[in-house]
Amino acid sequence: MIVALRVQKSSKRKNFGPVTAVGKTTPATRRTAGQGPKSGPLTKTEIDEIFYRLWKENPEPKGELDYVNPYTLLVAVVLSAQATDAGVNKATRPLFAHVDTPTKMLALGEDRLREAIKTIGLYRNKAKNVIALSRRLIDEYGGEVPPDRDALESLPGVGRKTANVVMNIAFGEPTMAVDTHVFRVANRIGLSRGNTPISVEEDLMRVVPPRYALHAHHWLILHGRYLCKARKPECWRCPIAALCRYPDKSPAP
């Protein structure tokens, strides 16, 4: 299975978006959200509206790493540290066509794995970690990727962000994987004031409406990658600009 960004429009209005005290979404609520003060903490209604708008733009967001099963997803995310998804995909597409289990990875060996991923930054250390985590999966988990974040974090080369990505994509858990995009966007919008990835993760877990939680980190990653860019955010075409607390919004070019 190839995972890539797909922007889809839905013709049916689902029960997403701001909810009134009696539990109904109303046009009036939709129109007025974001028209209040642009400073101060976001309200629950505004946060709901933010994720409604992100959902409306892209109802089924996906990660952009190629993978074929939970194991190859885990490997791809490990390889993606300090590298672009496109660069990882270029190396893993031919690799995963033949090597898609821990057993096959050990058979390939560290030397040939290094050769296959040498276009990816830090490839020597990453190859060592992939071989080591593959051996651990065979020895301790029957060759399967465990659906447990603590177990994942115990594997070589796997940190909390990687574990959260795997838990979310492979096992459908509403985790918040905080990379540089999510960290920046969450603070700019006003969803968090955290100064560490874990504090941002905790804020997001607390404030993101449950019905949006499964896809929330994908929306924030893609928003940061393509709109809310580090150097020059494209605020003039942002669907949540009226709600965002970022004070230095970029004008249209």
Residues with active-site annotation: 161, 179
Measured distance CA(175)–CA(34) in Å, rounded = 27
Closest CA to 65 of 1, 144, 155: 1
* Cβ burial, residue 226 (10 Å; 0-12/13-18/19+): exposed
The tokens describing 82, both together, are 């300090």
Measured distance CA(206)–CA(204) in Å, rounded = 5
Q: Which residues, 6+ apart, have CB-to-CB distance to 59 below 8 Å?
A: 8, 9, 10
Closest CA to 168 of 129, 229, 99, 220: 220
Name the amino acid, one letter, at 5.
L
Measured distance CA(154)–CA(157) in Å, rounded = 9
